[in-house]
Amino acid sequence: MGFSENAITVLKSRYLKKNERGEIIETPDEMLKRVSKHIAQLEKDFDYWFEKFYDLMASLKFLPNTPTLINAGNPLGQLSACFVLPVGDSMEEIFEAVKQTAIIHKTGGGTGFSFSRLRPKGEVVQSTKGVASGPVSFMKVFDCATESVKQGGVRRGANMGILRVDHPDILEFIHCKEQENAITNFNISVAITDDFLEKLKNDEEYELINPHTKKVANKLKASFVWDEIANNAWKNGEPGLVFIDRINKLHTLKGVEIEATNPCGEQPLLPYESCNLGSINLSKFVKNSSIDWEDLKECVHTAVRFLDNVIDVNSYPIEQIKTETLKNRKIGLGIMGFADMLVDLNIAYNSKEGVKLASDVMSFIQKESHIASSNLANERGCFPAYENSIFKDQNIPMRNATTTTIAPTGTISMIADCSSGIEPYFTLAYYKQVLDGKKLKYVNERLLDRLQSSGINVDDFLEELIANGGRLKGLGLPKSIEDLSKIFVTSMDMDYTAHIDMQAAFQNYTDNAVSKTINMPNSATVDDVKKAYFYAIEKGLKGLTVYRDGSRSVQVLVSESKQEKLQAIKRGRVLRGFTEKLKTSRGSLYVTVNTMGGKPVEVFANIGKSGGDISALSEAIGRLISIALQNGVDVEKIVNTLINITGAQPIWNEGRLIKSVPDAIAQVLKDHFLDKKVEKNYEECPECGGVLEEVEGCAVCKNCGYSRCS
């Protein structure tokens, strides 16, 4: 059927049907037939549409969201990816929402909330004469409930928490995830209003409105709040921004207000609506170095019908959700494999041609999806809320209030063996850890094909590529392949404007919104984050997620006036210490640490079997650490700086992974002198320990298929 080995692994782990003993009792082909049969069950010509839906998925031209692949034709029957639930300002309404959240997570869905209706922290509650605890405290209740509910046996729940920028508790909300172990099951975003942006432009104060009394509770300088948002996003990627007034102005339904989105922000929804999503694999539509538009058109029309059927055959977890979903019949057809398409057409992602291709492709999909929905309306009738829509004003029959969304494709892009969503490549090559501790080289297949035809020594080149972080940029390529660096670009090879330009190109032709991460290098500043925000506003985005590489474990640099004065340590004539031997890919490493008063003050690092540069660099690292320690630098700062630096050949040593010589030295210092766990400079996959990549507004593990949000 064309499934790759990696796809088979993901399917076995997460998608294929299992018996009570956890044994797989379904093949990938049987899975697709199960899904096709379930989705086609209402069709008058069942056999025809069963084959059409099956062929569409089997060709890997289109895949629906994960809950549909898992639950279609199974007893659970819940096919929607995510939902928005209202949170009212009473104890009864709040805990009703908690209960509904648990029910949804149990069926495999994610949830989004606006906490903007809740009265601010400290306000007196007249019925009890107590004081309100505020939105953030109740977010923690939802977070605990999520942690306790296993999502359909496949994943834990993902949530989006949103608070309006004019809520009195906005500062507490902005800072609520500063600690990385806080409210871990939530992404958070600030709902930015047009009024706030106007006050920001004029450097004025704006009003904070108590949602309970509707009165002004306080005023804040807009620039101060803007700085707080940017500072926290710089630290750890949150909060994101949702331009809520823009979303409502562009909404296809009139007289109703959207206040929240799904967990990754690409699906703004009314209370109790669900998102029913699927993605077209663009890499399948490049033939003879051009796009097969007719094939793409047929795919769009079949996919729209597929997703419209999902709404009718779905088993909804809550009756209100069924009512609202059937009323508006929103679907979200998106894409994946865009980076692959660009490479196949020899177009750079960060180029004007790349942005133009995005506009051309998405405008085509948007137009054809609307035509397909209109055709379905003529066949099946318009969505019930049609009379209250912009389509009624335009006299265009429509089956669905929305048809397009650019959603995260996490694991389904792994099944389709294509690039994720509209993201550029995150890396071109890396070592993939497997369960028995062995390492396997992973390299982008398209790059590998071109390397193999270039006449260079591919194995040696891949070692250099992996050592360079999987990026061609900066490698000093041989002339025979130097042009590849212009086409095979990664997310770190471009600045924020290129990322935003691409998101805007897709947003211009998408009914709902776009899930994308604006990746920034670790060296990016808070001012860079703010520049990205303003550029996103200029380009008309509905929302934005900024992630600075490695920021989850890096603290903000303090100003010089607040830095601790370092106290130099005078070395004694005689020091006592210890020597630890570790195995590295370069040979045995001997780390000697001498101490004074139980604290390390001197480090020597010598490596066996390997002379020359490796020995010299090991000795140099030891000398630099010694100078730092003797001048008062805290050992924890040194460990945090060195730990998890990854070399070309990580190796297992007595049950722990030694990633490089500096990583080994850091592990010795950590084991002997730090009582608390040292944070990694990357986020670790909770299932396999691999590296989580920040793409599509979410964290995804390409090692095992884990996704925090999909």
372-409 pLDDT per residue, tens? 999 999 999 999 999 999 999 999 999 999 999 999 99
Q: Which residues pair with 651 in a beta bridge?
A: 658
Verify that 257 and 279 share a domain, yes or no.
no
Amino acid letter, 638:
I
Verify that 404 and 434 share a domain, yes or no.
no
* Residue among 268, 705, 362, 694 at smallest CA distance from 517: 694
Q: Is residue 500 included in any domain, yes or no?
A: no
Verify that 393 and 442 share a domain, yes or no.
no
Verify that 86 and 71 share a domain, yes or no.
no
Residues 693, 697: Cα–Cα separation, whole Å:
10
Residues 178, 306: Cα–Cα separation, whole Å:
42
Residues 634, 642: Cα–Cα separation, whole Å:
13
Q: Is residue 512 included in any domain, yes or no?
A: no
Helices (H) and strands (E) in the chain, counts: 24, 29
Verify that 142 and 229 share a domain, yes or no.
yes
pLDDT digits (tens, 9 = 90+) for 266-276: 999 999 999 99
Do residues 256 and 501 touch, judged by C-beta distance below 8 A?
no
H-type alpha helices, 474-525: 484-487, 496-507
Residues 590, 603: Cα–Cα separation, whole Å:
10
Verify that 369 and 305 share a domain, yes or no.
yes
Verify that 386 and 469 share a domain, yes or no.
no
The helix (run of H) or strand (run of E) holding residue 170 is helix 170-175
**% of the chain residues with pLDDT over 90:** 65
Rg (CA), the chain: 27
| 40: its two tokens | 């086609």
Residue 463 pLDDT:
87
Q: Is residue 646 included in any domain, yes or no?
A: yes
Domain finish residue from 261, 282, 312: 261
Residues 659, 647: Cα–Cα separation, whole Å:
6
- For the cut 60, the answer to whether the pLDDT of residue 298 exceeds it is yes
pLDDT digits (tens, 9 = 90+) for 110-145: 999 999 999 999 888 777 767 889 999 999 999 999
Do residues 276 and 307 touch, judged by C-beta distance below 8 A?
yes
- For the cut 80, the answer to whether the pLDDT of residue 24 exceeds it is yes
Cα dist. 45→40, 111, 170, 313, 378 in Å? 9, 35, 54, 16, 17
Q: Is residue 520 included in any domain, yes or no?
A: no
Do residues 109 and 81 touch, judged by C-beta distance below 8 A?
yes
Verify that 11 and 107 share a domain, yes or no.
no
CA angle 168, 174, 178 (to 5 degrees): 140
Q: Among all chains, which residue has been given the structure tokens 């997460």?
A: 14
- For the cut 60, the answer to whether the pLDDT of residue 611 exceeds it is no
Do residues 53 and 81 touch, judged by C-beta distance below 8 A?
no
Q: Is residue 315 included in any domain, yes or no?
A: yes
Residues 192, 615: Cα–Cα separation, whole Å:
54
CB-based burial label for 21 (10 Å; 0-12, 13-18, 19+): exposed
* All residues at 6 or more sequence positions from 527 whose CB lies less than 8 Å from its CB, including other chains: none
Q: Is 266 part of the annotated catalytic residue set?
A: yes
Mean pLDDT of 543-571: 58
Where does the pLDDT of residue 108 fall: very low under 50, low under 70, confident under 90, or very high at 90 and above?
confident
| Structural domain boundaries, residue 19 | 5-78+273-416
Mean pLDDT of 557-580: 57
Q: Is 23 part of the annotated catalytic residue set?
A: no
Do residues 190 and 242 touch, judged by C-beta distance below 8 A?
yes
Q: Is residue 532 included in any domain, yes or no?
A: no
- Overall number of domains in the chain: 4
Residues 182, 173: Cα–Cα separation, whole Å:
12
- If one compares 466 and 73, the residue with the highest pLDDT of the two is 73
Mean pLDDT of 504-526: 95
Residues 670, 664: Cα–Cα separation, whole Å:
10
Active-site entry in 65, 236, 262, 519:
262
Verify that 310 and 240 share a domain, yes or no.
no
Kindly report whether the peptide bond that precedes residue 239 is cis, defined as omega within 30 degrees of 0. Answer: yes
Q: Among all chains, which residue has been given the structure tokens 């031997």?
A: 581
Positive or negative, the CA dihedral 162, 166, 168, 174 is: positive
Amino acid letter, 267:
Q
The DSSP annotation for 255-304 comes to S----EE-TTSS-EE-TT-EE-EEEEEGGGGEETTEE-HHHHHHHHHHHH
Residues 217, 415: Cα–Cα separation, whole Å:
51
Verify that 93 and 183 share a domain, yes or no.
yes
CA angle 250, 251, 257 (to 5 degrees): 120
Residue 152 pLDDT:
47
Residues 338, 283: Cα–Cα separation, whole Å:
7
- If one compares 461 and 292, the residue with the highest pLDDT of the two is 292
Verify that 252 and 356 share a domain, yes or no.
no
Q: Is residue 515 included in any domain, yes or no?
A: no
Residues 510, 568: Cα–Cα separation, whole Å:
60
CA angle 627, 628, 633 (to 5 degrees): 150
Verify that 157 and 192 share a domain, yes or no.
yes
Residues 264, 707: Cα–Cα separation, whole Å:
11
Phi, psi torsion values for 357, nearest 5 degrees:
-60, -40
Q: Which residues pair with 591 in a beta bridge?
A: 580, 605
pTM metric for this prediction: 0.82
Q: Is 636 part of the annotated catalytic residue set?
A: no
* Residue among 522, 516, 546 at smallest CA distance from 339: 516
Where does the pLDDT of residue 181 fall: very low under 50, low under 70, confident under 90, or very high at 90 and above?
confident
Residues 464, 133: Cα–Cα separation, whole Å:
55
Active-site entry in 123, 238, 259, 266:
266
pLDDT digits (tens, 9 = 90+) for 615-641: 888 888 988 998 888 888 888 889 888
Residues 697, 40: Cα–Cα separation, whole Å:
32
Do residues 669 and 636 touch, judged by C-beta distance below 8 A?
no
Active-site entry in 176, 264, 299, 382:
264
Exposure string over 235-273, b if 16+ CB within 10 A, otherwise e? bbbbbbbbbbebbeebbbbeeeebbbbbbbbbbbbbbbb
Residues 339, 502: Cα–Cα separation, whole Å:
11
Q: Is residue 499 included in any domain, yes or no?
A: no
Domain finish residue from 199, 229, 261: 261
Cα dist. 463→314, 459, 471 in Å? 48, 7, 12
Residue 134 pLDDT:
95
pLDDT digits (tens, 9 = 90+) for 39-75: 999 999 999 999 999 999 999 999 999 999 999 999 9
Torsion of CA 387, 389, 394, 396, to 10 degrees: -70
